[in-house]
Structures are given as C-alpha cells and as structure tokens.
Amino acid sequence: MGDIYVYDKAKYHMTGVSGGAPSWEHASGTALFMLRWCIENDLISPSLLEDSKPFLADYLGGRISLFKLYEDGCGLVFTSEMLSDEGNAFARDYFDYSDGLYVNDLYACLKLGKKDYPLYTDEAYLLFKPQIDSRYAGWKAGKIDTVRQPPKKWWVKLLWKVVGILIVILMFIGLLLIFFLQSVFAPK
C-alpha cells in the first residue's frame, strides 16, 4: 500500500489548543464514527481484519465497545492501513481535516460547538450515519464537491485588498486636490 497515512490520533485531541479533550473516549470520537461506518460498509483492509481479528470479532459479537476495539486493536490511531483501497480514497477526500467536510458534518449533525469533542455513542452514530451515506453516494457518483470544501479563492481576497488600497489612495488624492484647490482659489 505504500506509506501509512495517519487520519487521526486520539493523542492529538488530548493536547489541543483549548486544553484538550476531557477523556480518551472524547479524543477518539471523531475517528470512531468513521471507523464504524467503514466496518459496516466493508471498507476495512485485510490487515485490520488480520491484525485486530480478536478485537474485531469481540466488537462484532457485542462483547467489547467500538472504543475498546479502537484502543486495544488499533492503538487509538486511525490510519490508511485500516482501510481498503476504496475506503482510503473516500477517507482521503471526506475525512481530511483541512478540506474534507467530515468534521463539519459531524459537528453540525451532533450540534457541537467548535471547542467541543464528539463522544461516540450508538445513538449519535445513528444520527450521523445517513450523512456519511449521502456523502459516500455523492462521492461514488463522482461529485467530489459533496465531500470536499470548494477550493479557497485566494485571488478574491487579494482583489478585495487591492480595492481597499485603491480606495484609500483615491481618498488621499481627493483630499490633496481639495487642499490644492482651496489654496489656489481661496480669497487673499
């Protein structure tokens, strides 16, 4: 498969800018929703099936929680090794923190604030699952904009800055012109 791509690590969220997640379960929340969805949609890799076989069997049998599978079977890390080729292609577009829509979707669906950490529960997953299903269907149909944010239009920001600078320059020239005209036509 090549280089291992790390989608998420629980430890990233334990030392966040806002002080970190309140628990390892919260720190793992973002990845757990996607992991369960990939398991249910057969988008996991043979290596996950092999490496985490006892944990996966216990999870599927209802003997351990998804968090316990993620903690003991995956080391609290969500990587490309865990997903099939198709699972990775989808996750690279949708689960991407910088341009993917996954985190925005998750937080909107669960009505979380920006500094909140999602806590995985079966109820929360069932609320969020239809959104992932919809994004996946759009992605499968070749509609990349259903899973990624539109490209940032850097030139629009630049244009507004240039327009702002031109307005300031024109105002300065207008003021100079007013002072000049007053000095020329002022009664002496």
What confidence score (pLDDT) does residue 174 get?
A: 92
Instruction: Count the Cβ atoms, other than its own, within 10 Å of residue 163.
Output: 10
Least confident of 10-14, 17-21, 44-48, 53-57: 17-21
Residue 15 in any domain: the answer is yes
Residues of the chain with pLDDT > 70, as a percent, come to 91
Whether 111 has a pLDDT exceeding 50, the answer reads yes
- Evaluate whether residue 152 is within a structural domain: no
Does some domain include residue 1? Answer: no
- Does the residue 165 lie in any domain? no
What pLDDT, on the 0 to 100 scale, is given for residue 148?
67
What digits encode the pLDDT tens for the residues 48-69?
A: 888 888 898 999 999 999 999 9
> How many separate domains does the chain show?
1
Q: Is residue 168 part of a domain?
A: no
Specify if 187 maps to a domain: no
Task: Give the number of other Cβ atoms within 10 Å of residue 130's Cβ.
Answer: 10
Averaged pLDDT score across all residues of the chain: 86
**CA gap 101, 116 in Å, rounded:** 17
- In a domain, residue 180? The reply is no
Q: What's the whole-model pTM score?
A: 0.73
Mean pLDDT for the stretch of residues 154-175: 87
Distance (Å, whole) CA 45 – CA 4: 13
Closest residue by Cα to residue 11 from 60, 78, 106, 72:
78
Q: 84 in the Ramachandran plot: left (φ > 0), alpha (ψ -120 to 50) or beta? A: beta
pLDDT higher than 60, residue 17: no
User: What residue numbers bound the domain in which 12 lies?
Assistant: 6-146
Q: Is 79 part of a structural domain of the chain?
A: yes
